[in-house]
């Protein structure tokens, strides 16, 4: 690494930044919310509340601060407690509203549950709550989001992905939420007036696969071997369907596929969701990693990993903040810790950490915000004191520098 381009912060500076983050977290981010029985991990002032997209935040904090393992359990339980009788989980819980208009599952709920179960072994009932909740969530997805008979679940609106302002959503009539006559439609409603929706999405189906796979793990823990075998069988079918419908062998990439079976070819960072859930085996994953993730012409920019490949014609630099069509996102960086070591890419994970620590240690504008310019490292003005960025910084300086 060129330390002139990515200067290593002094230990004193990193310690000051660490203390600022911890002060901020304890003052603003650990709080009771949505009827929770204990503290959960709040995102930021710009995103007031807790969101499905950020379910991993609680686990990440508990991993950093083992004496507060109950945070991960509380964070999951507040979503499980708001699950509908049909099995739908809320996409967000605000002060005065609980949202059921889209899915926005960006790390499989089941995977987060399994990590929290291991963090909270003293709660013997938590495992069963998670197993039943994730099972019902999967059943709801199968009952509502499988309208085309492909064996895969479908995107009904752009917010299902959490990829706000990405060019992958441009062909959609509903790039944000699905509305009719000015009214928000429920997340179980499939659009009937869009040329491309419902759509098959790699990231959504990676999470679907992940939930089925870890339901097998939870069933094993509960002493239910026959159910475990059935969940794993179903997971393997979803994996096969993803390769059948979404995989492009020539490009070695998964793509969104519309209701007519047409692939919408944009090299989106959703490929990391496919890595995160373990859809690709070790060898194929490393081939895709070398071709795309570690490629400076694709995702290995000075400040990795941009939300769209920098060589893709649909990568647009002039977008404002909260852009999944341009910036390198704190959420992507934090989630990289879940999957890069599993593919033998610890060195690359730590290199990303070094560059992000350098950028945020020396930033004089936004304080630990949502995203970085992938070329210059300049932060957008979106969402200061953003949970994922703060958590990633804390994990990174401890891992890299022992702070």
CA distance 128 to 135: 10
**Cis upstream peptide for 198 (omega within 30°):** yes
Query: What are 3-55's pLDDT values in tens digits?
Result: 567 899 999 999 999 999 999 999 999 999 999 999 999 999 988 889 999 99
Reading the block at residue 128, the tokens are 């069963």
Query: What are 195-204's pLDDT values in tens digits?
Result: 999 999 999 9
Name the helix (H) or strand (E) containing 358. Answer: helix 346-362
CA distance 396 to 20: 15
Closest CA to 259 of 194, 178, 162: 194
Query: What are 322-365's pLDDT values in tens digits?
Result: 999 999 999 999 999 999 999 999 999 999 999 999 999 999 88
CA distance 307 to 371: 10
What pLDDT, on the 0 to 100 scale, is given for residue 290? Answer: 98
Is this structure's pTM higher than 0.75?
yes
Name the helix (H) or strand (E) containing 142. Answer: helix 124-144
What pLDDT, on the 0 to 100 scale, is given for residue 196? Answer: 98
Cα dihedral 32, 159, 391, 326 sign: negative
What length is written for the chain?
403
CA distance 379 to 363: 8
What pLDDT, on the 0 to 100 scale, is given for residue 48? Answer: 85
What pLDDT, on the 0 to 100 scale, is given for residue 4? Answer: 66
What pLDDT, on the 0 to 100 scale, is given for residue 317? Answer: 85
Report, as an integer, the average pLDDT of 257-269. 98
State the DSSP code for 365: S
- 248, 288, 309, 310 from 313: Cα distances, Å: 18, 20, 9, 8
Residue 371: phi and psi, rounded to 5, are -160, 160
Decide if pLDDT at 2 tops 70: no
Report, as an integer, the average pLDDT of 180-206. 96
Cα dihedral 315, 320, 323, 329 sign: positive
């Amino acid at each position: 690494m060129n330390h002139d381009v990515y200067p290593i912060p002094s230990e004193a500076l990193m310690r000051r930044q660490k203390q600022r983050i911890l002060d901020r977290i304890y003052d603003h981010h650990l709080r009771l919310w949505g009827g929770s029985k204990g503290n959960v991990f709040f995102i930021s002032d710009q995103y007031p509340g807790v969101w499905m997209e950020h379910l991993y935040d609680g686990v990440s904090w508990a991993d950093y601060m083992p004496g507060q393992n109950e945070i991960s359990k509380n964070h999951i339980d507040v979503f499980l407690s708001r699950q509908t009788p049909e099995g739908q989980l809320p996409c967000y819980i605000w002060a005065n509203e609980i949202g059921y208009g889209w899915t926005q599952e960006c790390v499989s709920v089941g995977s987060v549950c399994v990590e929290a179960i291991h963090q909270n072994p003293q709660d013997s009932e938590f495992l069963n709550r998670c197993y039943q909740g994730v099972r019902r969530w999967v059943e709801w997805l199968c009952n509502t989001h499988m309208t085309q008979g492909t064996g895969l679940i479908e995107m009904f609106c752009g917010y299902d992905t959490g990829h706000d302002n990405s060019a992958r959503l441009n062909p959609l009539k509903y790039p944000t939420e699905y509305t009719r006559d000015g009214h928000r439609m429920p997340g179980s409603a499939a659009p009937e007036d869009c040329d491309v929706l419902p759509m098959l999405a790699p990231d959504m189906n990676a999470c679907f696969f992940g939930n089925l796979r870890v339901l097998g793990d939870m069933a094993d823990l509960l002493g239910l071997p026959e159910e475990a075998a059935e969940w794993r069988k179903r997971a393997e079918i979803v994996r096969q369907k993803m390769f059948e419908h979404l995989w492009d062998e020539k490009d070695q990439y998964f793509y969104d596929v519309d209701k007519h079976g047409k692939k919408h070819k944009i090299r989106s960072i959703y490929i990391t969701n496919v890595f995160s859930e373990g859809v690709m085996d070790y060898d194929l994953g490393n081939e895709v990693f070398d071709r795309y993730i570690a490629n400076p012409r694709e995702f290995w920019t000075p400040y990795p990993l941009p939300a769209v490949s920098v060589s893709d014609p649909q990568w647009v630099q002039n977008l404002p903040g909260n852009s999944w069509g341009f910036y390198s996102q704190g959420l992507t960086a934090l989630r990289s810790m879940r999957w890069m070591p599993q593919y033998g890419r610890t060195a690359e994970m730590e290199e990303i950490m070094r560059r992000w620590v350098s950028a945020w240690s020396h930033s004089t504008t936004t304080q630990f915000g949502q995203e970085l310019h992938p070329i210059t490292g300049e932060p957008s003005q979106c969402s200061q004191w953003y949970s994922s960025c703060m958590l990633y910084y804390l994990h990174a300086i401890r891992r890299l520098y022992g702070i």
